[in-house]
Amino acid sequence: MMMKSAVIDRRYRNKGTAATAMEQPPRLQRLDRLYIRQPIYFVTACTHARQPLLADAATHDAVLAFARAAYERGVAVGRYVLMPDHLHLFASFAPDALMLSDWMKSLKNALSKHWRQQGHPAPHWQKGFFDHVIRSEESYSEKCAYVMENPVRKNLVTRAEEWPYAGEVHVLRPDKE
């Protein structure tokens, strides 16, 4: 069995070889443990078919309300930016808080409910989301700069401060351990 996986992995890596559904390697699983006391996650989620649903005042208010309510449940949302078709945010979870995947499911559900009330038919989100654990102050600073400059790179504004759908709910500090 191990040998078959190695063959599949090599085939999958070859750019000229199309892998069938049976040959694709299994999806990576989330880590069971992190050895950071209270990690900060950098999260990206995209709308279904890249629909431009996120960059409006009502959705921005819904995200802020969700983030503020999450704090009572041990989840602190730091910097964030809502682009028309995706969002980036930083979140930190207390040890007894929801898991990241459960929290993201709740965020997506809350925003989907908001959009349905505004007459936008489902589906609203791509499946899953991307997350990265921030391991240092330097990494956090680099990712924050990336997030805040995203509207400038996409030519939506000339200066990051002009984008109305970005901000910081709570100040997050990477764990020093």
Q: Render pLDDT for 158-168 as a digit per residue (tens, 0 to 9).
A: 999 999 999 99
**What is the structure's pLDDT at 97?**
87
Q: Render pLDDT for 107-158 as a digit per residue (tens, 0 to 9).
A: 999 999 999 999 999 999 999 999 999 988 888 899 999 999 999 999 999 9
pLDDT at 103 over 50: yes
HEC secondary structure over the chain? CHHHHHHHHHHHHCCCCCCCCCCCCCCCCCCCCCCCCCCEEEEEEEEHHHCCCCCCHHHHHHHHHHHHHHHCCCEEEEEEEECCCEEEEEEEECCCCCCHHHHHHHHHHHHHHHHHHCCCCCCCECCCCEEEEECCHHHHHHHHHHHHHHHHHCCCCCCHHHCCCEEECCCCCCCCC
Domains by residue range for the chain, with CATH: 40-168 (3.30.70.1290)
Give the global pTM. 0.78
